[in-house]
Amino acid sequence: MSNLPAELKYTASHEWIRDEGDGTVTIGITDHAQELLGDLVYVELPDVGRELDAEEACAVVESVKAASDVYAPIAGEVVAVNEALSDSPEMINSDAYGDGWLIKMKVEDGALDDLIDVDAYQAVLDDEG
């Protein structure tokens, strides 16, 4: 069973979003996503300062198996990226919701309102079977 923290928001494309309460959010890929990908070996992250549209491809995570795009769940400005993943992409496998975070974004108030919660994401996973 995948690990699904209840306090996070999610997308149907398997990103998670944590509201940091200061106008910024932290984004990563879910435990389910890293399980599907297998061992991560390379991560390509956006430049800090880049303005992203919602659903814009903004990062690439590559495992031994495949390359997968990561999409910005909401619009905003990239304010930080997880530089440590450059040397240790396997942190996504070992700690998808913690050390394996990908980017931090500055977003508008209310930007998270349309994202799905843990129950809705669980339903997405159940549908995928």
Partner 1 sequence: MGNKTPLYDTHVAAGGKMVDFGGWDMPLNYGSQLEEHHVVRQDAGMFDVSHMTVVDVAGAEAKAFLRNLLANDIAKLTVSGKALYGCMLKADGGVIDDLITYYLDETHYRLVVNAATRDKDIAWIQAQAGRFDVTVTERPELAMIAIQGPNARAKVNGLLSPETAAAADALKVFFAAIDGEWFIARTGYTGEDGYEIILPDRDAVDFWNRLVAAGVRPCGLGARDTLRLEAGMNLYGSDMDEGTSPWSTGLAWTVAMDPADRDFIGRAALEAEKAAGVAMKRVGLVLEGKGVLRNHQRVVAEGVGEGEITSGGFSPTLGVGIALARVPKATGERCQVDVRGKLLDCRVVTPPFVRNGKSCL
Tell me which residues touch partner 1 (CB under 8 A): 38-39, 41-42, 44, 60, 62, 64-65, 67, 86, 90
Measured from the CB atom, is 48 or 67 closer to partner 1? 67
Residue 4 beta carbon to partner 1: minimum distance, rounded to whole angstroms: 20
Nearer to partner 1, 14 or 18 (CB): 14
DSSP for 89-107 reads TTHHHH-TTTTT--EEEE-
In angstroms, what is the minimal distance from the CB of 90 to partner 1? 8
**62 or 77: whose CB is closer to partner 1?**
62
The encoded tokens of residue 25 equal: 């959010």
CB 107 within 8 A of CB 76: yes
Quote the least distance from Cβ 25 to partner 1, whole Å: 25
Q: How many CA atoms lie within 13 A of 84 on its CB side?
A: 8
